[in-house]
Amino acid sequence: MLKSIIDNRENYQPGLSIDCVIFGFHDNQLKVLLIKTKHSEEWALPGGFVPVDEDIDQAAVSILHGRTGLEGIFLRQFSTFGTVKRNQDHFSNKVLEFYEIPLEEGKWYASRFVTIGYYALVDFLQTVPQPEGKNEIVEWIDHDAVPDLILDHKEILDKALETLRMELNLIPVGYNLLPEKFTIPELQKLYETILGRKLDRRNFLRKITAIGILTKLDEKKSNVAHKAPNLYSFDRDKYNEVVRNGLHQGW
């Protein structure tokens, strides 16, 4: 894959890349989709290069679809990373050596790249991680147990989570991360996990109900030890309307 890109580098915007922080939520844990290749002991965020004939946002959509198999993903550009030394020579050279690509031929890959960061919110249960070839593995990892990452990918991940936390005050979150039917405690746990702190139960219920994006179903959660809580779903039209217009409250 890398050799094919280098051989056809004229088809890609020089010096520009995309790195994606893909969040999922499962077993009350915020997950991050990470990649590990055989040429490195460190993990990496999914990413790629930008075709010269493709808009940047569309390139990000293509990368996400290739990694998750999903379409219609919630995707947001959040920052650009371009410090002079963000490309470590030893990392690039090690990759080229692994793929048996001569240094002169791989100079394009080893040069400085400015990368655009995107974060995505996806349904964990609907996502099928997609490795690119036999030299790569793709796994969900708890966001609070992320191992060492290549380059400045830890900085990119931290910035994505910081942005997501700030944007909880501006837009609703949950439609892309929870199953179709969920309970209020499950929704509250999602918010608490993202924010990294506990929320008052009654206050959360009052605020989330006031937004007007929930539909209470005539169903209760099954297979629970105590009193079964009610199930809810998102009113998609109202949810999208709030995403467009924004929220006016904090958590």
How many Å apart are CA 246 and CA 136, to the nearest integer? 39
Calculate mean pLDDT across residues 61-73.
Answer: 85
Specify the DSSP element, H or E, that contains 81.
strand 74-81
Position 88 pLDDT exceeds 80? no
**pLDDT tier at 89 (50, 70, 90 boundaries)?**
low
C-alpha angle 43/44/47, rounded to 5°?
160
Residue 152 pLDDT > 90: yes
The runs of H, that is alpha helices, within the chain are 2-7, 56-68, 89-98, 107-110, 153-167, 184-195, 201-211, 236-245
Neighbours of 248 (CB within 10 A): 8
Compute the average pLDDT of residues 7-33.
92
Q: Which domains does the chain have, with CATH numbers?
A: 2-167 (3.90.79.10), 184-245 (1.10.10.10)
How far is the C-alpha of 123 from the C-alpha of 28, rounded, in Å?
Answer: 13
User: What would you report as the CA-atom Rg of the chain, rounded to the nearest whole angstrom?
Assistant: 20
pLDDT at 40 (0 to 100): 81
Query: Helices 201-211 and 184-195 meet at what angle, rounded to 10?
Result: 100
- Give the model confidence (pLDDT) of 46-60 as tens digits: 999 999 999 999 999
Other CB atoms closer than 10 Å to residue 234's CB: what's the count? 20
Q: 170 or 158: whose pLDDT is higher? A: 158
Q: Which of 11-20, 93-102, 134-143 has the lowest mean pLDDT?
A: 93-102
- State the distance between the two ends of the chain, measured CA to CA, in whole angstroms: 44
CA-wise closest residue to 75 among 145, 157, 20, 2: 20
pLDDT given at position 107: 85
The DSSP bridge pattern shows strands 12-26 and 114-121 to be parallel
**Token code pair at residue 79:** 């920052």
Q: Is the pLDDT confidence value at 164 over 70?
A: yes
The residue among 99 and 186 whose pLDDT is bigger is: 186
Each residue of 206-217: pLDDT tens digit? 999 999 999 999
Least confident of 173-177, 212-216, 230-234: 173-177
Mapping DSSP to helix (H, G, I), strand (E, B) and coil, where does residue 18 land? strand
162-188 mean pLDDT:
91
Least Cα distance to 137 among 34, 14, 240 occurs for 34
Does pLDDT of 243 surpass 90? no
Instruction: Assign 13 a pLDDT band (cuts: 50, 70, 90).
Output: very high
The per-residue pLDDT for 116 is 97
Percent above pLDDT 90 for the chain: 53
**pLDDT at position 224, please?**
67
Lowest mean pLDDT among 112-116, 130-134, 170-174, 228-232: 130-134
Q: Is the pLDDT of residue 106 over 70?
A: yes
Alpha helices in 16-103 (DSSP H): 56-68, 89-98
The reported pLDDT for the residue numbered 247 is 85
